[in-house]
Structure 1
């Protein structure tokens, strides 16, 4: 009979539960919203109108990004199999594909209308674009920064040189660079081009996404006895602090999203003022 796996420490489970409950609270109460409807009070043109260039340019950007993401993701699955879907990076990559698919569809439908109603509120599709925009802009920052500042140093510290070489092979290639670098560039380009405002309570969707993956990671451990990432190893003495740190990083990186958005607004205002004076 196989030995029973150690139980996941209660503090780790408590942090995960707190993250889930916080996300539910944010989505239910919609704090920091000027309108009780939250993102449902946005206009459809906020999703499909370009901040720079034309709506056609925005559609072309979204469609091109979608083709690149799907093509690379399909090649990865063909090359390495469906086992890659165990990892948060791949979850994030296909979440990115979902965003650009929804955004492309919204842009295309908007361009088909000859006389769009600029006062029309967002449709379900356009609201979904807003949700996925916030989720992806936050998760790409989490994935990229944690991969190169936390995950890789932990993997490199492995005492077995062959294991380190195997990890190096997995991380230092075009697919990895795309999923741990180009993904952020794609979303930053979207942020620059689009007219979607940042809605603070959307942090709740980011938290729910991470909670779902956290549940999957626990299931994977119970099924295989292995943790998908070294910093998720709940059996380590420092694990409660690691999970608390991951919980807090969502606030940190969502704060970065807000700062990037405000930086865009300030820069755009200054450019407009400079062009008028020229």
Structure 2
């Protein structure tokens, strides 16, 4: 029993980490008033960039930095469209979700001799060395360093949003940008920074999958995690701590899928649906009950009061 509990905890934390980074990206973007549906695409680009960086340099940490940079560059496109040109933010995000996986696949084919998947690359180090635990239950605690990084990112974002002057400005821009403008806050710059940060975090989330869980890039490496992360943002009421806990819940459903997958009682196809069924249930029961920032998704035109 204890072995199973430790294994479930390990799998939960492992699979929730990519979601944590994606959800934190959604929180910081939407807190500034910009809806970012493109988290899925940014995670996809980050997943490939992380592998490519690790493959070329031989250092997974460089791969992680490349993932954040790639996600930030894709987010910059979203910021230009939605902040500068006042484009529909949902359409811009959907366009990124359609464009980014194609870019990642094209780059993968160019980098790995026409293959649709990358070579196996060096991965990020484990958080705990379990080799010394022998046959004890703790030997199943197979966690990588991104689990700790995800927790740190959530704590830092909570502190920045709720305990710093800049965080107050971000929240004010997301609630009432016109009033923020009268106080001398640069709404455009604040939103640009937040959207780009959301892409960097989403890139880290993609790399958490390919540099820690599967150690290579495939077309299906990011298969809906970005959308699940957005559901976690809603479930967590647009707060870093709430989004983090929601991601743990989604990670737990993935752990159940893995743990029960070896049995014959429940078909594997049904088990594979669990994370997505949970996402739909969250959206059904919590959309409308969780109140988003008032200016979320609303284009801002300077001086329009």
Q: Same fold (TM over 0.5)?
A: no
More helix by percentage:
1
- Select the structure of larger CA radius of gyration: 1
TM-score, normalised with respect to structure 1: 0.30
